[in-house]
Amino acid sequence: MSRFLRLHASALADALRRLGSQPVASLFSILVLGAAIALPVVAAVILESAAATGAGLDTEPHVSVYLALDASADDAKRVEQALRGQPDVAAVKFVPRAQALRELQASTHLAELLAALDRNPLPDAFTVRLRTTDVARLDGARAAWSRLPKVDQVVADFEWSERLARWARLGEHVLAAIGTLLGAAVAFIVAHLIRLQVVTRREEIEVSQLIGATAADVRRPFLYHGALQGFLAGAAALALAAGFAAWATYELSVLTPEYAAELKVVFLAPAERAALVAGACLLGLAAAWVAVSRELRRFTAGR
Amino acid sequence: MIRFSAVAKRYPGGHEALRGVSLDVADGEMVAITGRSGAGKTTLLKLAAGIERASTGTVLVQGQNLGALGESALAVLRRRIGFVFQDHKLLFDRNAFENVALPLRIGGFPRLESARRVRAALDKVGLLDREKAMPVALSGGEQQRLCIARAIVSRPMMLIADEPTGNLDADYARAIVDLFTSFHQVGVTVLLSTHDEASLGRLGCRRVALAAGALAEEGAA
């Protein structure tokens, strides 16, 4: 084994020994760090699951254009041509009033009531699917179509999808903020734990430096300690989040069996799990680096 | 070789420990620094080991100007120098074996080679049977010998010792002086401070006297 590898193996062994020397304290600190990391992970799982559920719904923006009751087939053709001439329109579907009535009768409990009517109260209509989600352009199109001859009403069904998208964006921002805050908290806790270790081992550090240890030699075991703590905390967070996901999946299946196909908990993908643990490991490493460097500067200044 | 050229050392607060010291120690030479307490002996040794830096003047070790070296380069240089501290600088939460093994651990030595060298060093200072003992269980003299074992374990090119026989009884002092002499005989440069006249006589080396931070006298011991 080369000297380089021996030094790193020795530093890793030292870090493991330090963690193992106080098993209860180490376990609790790792669990606390893991819980802090798990919180944004759980929030991300909830958000991801909500997004996945929403993806199953028709969220594409579309507009319903209702014609006047006295509109003729020629009027409908003219309106259809006008609609198809718009660049933002992806598809136009004509829904004749007879078909609309049949669908209404089939999908509601109003069949008898509707049958008792002497004439069809529903108008011909177009369902227009749009390419854009830009609110201003959609509003402009709606206003323009309202002015077409024999158009009675234009109803835009995109506001709710826009609202949903806005809520999703807000959720992502809140999640990012919480993640950043808790990440900073984790880094602070790791840095504090490492700082305590450095202070406790001050005598050893000073003697080591006197007999030839460089700053890198001194730093190395602490960096491994920080990285190990981060790694174990990341793994603990993953386990906690997986536990939450399993529990939520079970509760959803019990509470809403009829929606089991639509409502499902989406857990992190394998790559995301690896990134979580690696990120926590790097966070611990960075926190340890800052803490040790700071303390070493203080030791040197105090000499 | 060690070369001090017009070296002065001033500590924060204004105390001047060394003033205009110029001194050469040839490779493989053994030199004893003498002088009363506060004469500047420890400061001179620390400057030679790169533990402290001169305020003015230059200290050259093996052709390297220590004042121009960065902290890492100085630390690496210190690995090639065995230093026996007057206050031992032992780690009290490590046993004798682990204390002596510390320089080898820093140097990244293989475990088996390290264990062999540690036992050899402990044997040289008569502490082989105490390798598991914690420093607190050792007498002052044993702690001194443990510090010497740590200084010689990495087979340094230069051995610097600050009052190495200060806490030892006459028999062990003689044994330690003989140990330094044996290192000197195999070509190790030895620089030590002492005011133990018996040891000085036994060392039979060049003697440099310091007084109030300046060179006062030079000659054979």
Burial A185-212 (b: 16+ CB within 10 A, else e): ebbebbbebbbebbeebeebbebbbbbb
Burial-class residue A81 by CB neighbours within 10 Å (0-12, 13-18, 19+): exposed
The model's pTM: 0.73
Q: What is the pLDDT of residue B128?
A: 95
- Give the one of B72, B85, B93 whose C-beta lies nearest to A215's C-beta: B72
Residue A82 CB partners (closer than 8 Å, separation 6+): A145, A148
Q: What is the pLDDT of residue B221?
A: 55
Tokens read off for B64? 């390297």
Residues of A with CB under 8 A from a CB of B: 1, 3-4, 6-7, 10, 203-204, 206-217
Q: Answer whether B51 sits within 8 Å of A210, measured CB to CB.
A: yes
Q: What is the pLDDT of residue A50?
A: 79
Residue A56 CB partners (closer than 8 Å, separation 6+): A262
Chain A residues with CB-CB distance to B85 below 8 A: 210
Distance, in Å, from the CA atom of A140 to the CA atom of B135, rounded to the nearest integer, reads: 87
Per-residue pLDDT tens digits for A103-145: 887 766 677 777 778 788 889 999 888 877 677 777 788 888 8
Reading chain B (221 residues) residue by residue, the pLDDT tens digits are 899 999 999 998 888 999 999 999 999 999 999 998 889 999 999 999 999 999 999 999 999 999 999 999 999 999 999 999 999 999 999 999 999 999 999 999 999 999 999 999 999 999 999 999 999 999 888 999 999 999 999 999 999 999 988 777 888 888 888 889 998 999 999 999 988 777 888 888 899 999 999 998 776 65
Q: Answer whether B109 sits within 8 Å of A7, measured CB to CB.
A: no
Q: What is the pLDDT of residue B211?
A: 92
Q: Which residue has the higher pLDDT, B130 or A174?
A: B130
Per-residue pLDDT tens digits for B12-35: 888 899 999 999 999 999 999 999
Per-residue pLDDT tens digits for A30-48: 999 999 899 889 988 888 8
Q: Answer whether A213 sits within 8 Å of B106, measured CB to CB.
A: yes
Q: What is the pLDDT of residue A207?
A: 93
Q: Answer whether A7 sits within 8 Å of B79, measured CB to CB.
A: no
Give the minimum alpha-carbon distance from B215 to chain A in angstroms, rounded to a whole number.
26
Chain A residues with CB-CB distance to B91 below 8 A: 203-204, 207
Largest CA distance in chain A: 105
Chain B residues with CB-CB distance to A217 below 8 A: 75, 106
Residues of B with CB under 8 A from a CB of A: 51, 71-72, 75-80, 83, 85, 89-93, 102-103, 105-110, 150
Q: What is the pLDDT of residue B78?
A: 94
- Which residue in chain B is spatially nearest to A203 when comparing CA positions? B91
Per-residue pLDDT tens digits for A142-173: 888 889 899 998 887 666 666 777 787 888 88
- Concatenated DSSP letters of A10-46: HHHHHHHHHHHHSHHHHHHHHHHHHHHHHHHHHHHHH
Which of A211, A214, A299, A300 to mutate: most B Cβ within 10 Å?
A: A211
Strand ranges (DSSP E) for B72-204? 81-84, 158-162, 189-193
- Which residue in chain B is spatially nearest to A202 when comparing CA positions? B91
In terms of Cα–Cα distance, which of A235, A43, A6 is closest to B108?
A6
Chain B residues with CB-CB distance to A7 below 8 A: 108
Per-residue pLDDT tens digits for A189-221: 888 888 888 888 889 999 999 999 999 999 999
Q: What is the pLDDT of residue B92?
A: 94
- Give the one of B76, B80, B108 whose C-beta lies nearest to A3's C-beta: B108
Chain B residues with CB-CB distance to A211 below 8 A: 78-79, 83, 102-103, 106, 150
Confidence of residue A227 (pLDDT cuts 50, 70, 90): very high
Q: Answer whether A211 sits within 8 Å of B79, measured CB to CB.
A: yes
Q: Answer whether A210 sits within 8 Å of B91, measured CB to CB.
A: no
- Give the one of B85, B102, B108 whose C-beta lies nearest to A208's C-beta: B102
Confidence of residue A55 (pLDDT cuts 50, 70, 90): low
Q: Is the pLDDT of residue A57 over 90?
A: no
Q: CA-CA distances (angstroms) from residue A167 to A248, B32, B199?
A: 22, 81, 85
Per-residue pLDDT tens digits for A229-281: 999 999 999 999 999 999 988 888 887 666 555 667 888 889 999 999 999 99
Q: Answer whether B72 sits within 8 Å of A214, measured CB to CB.
A: yes
- Which residue in chain A is spatially nearest to B74 when comparing CA positions? A212
- Give the one of A6, A203, A212 whose C-beta lies nearest to B91's C-beta: A203
Calculate ∠ Cα A137-A67-A110, nearest 5°. 110
Per-residue pLDDT tens digits for A62-114: 788 999 988 888 999 999 998 888 888 888 999 998 888 888 877 666 777 77
Q: Answer whether B79 sits within 8 Å of A203, measured CB to CB.
A: no
Average pLDDT over every residue of A296-302: 74
Per-residue pLDDT tens digits for A6-34: 999 999 998 999 889 889 989 998 999 99
- Give the one of A3, A6, A212 whose C-beta lies nearest to B75's C-beta: A212
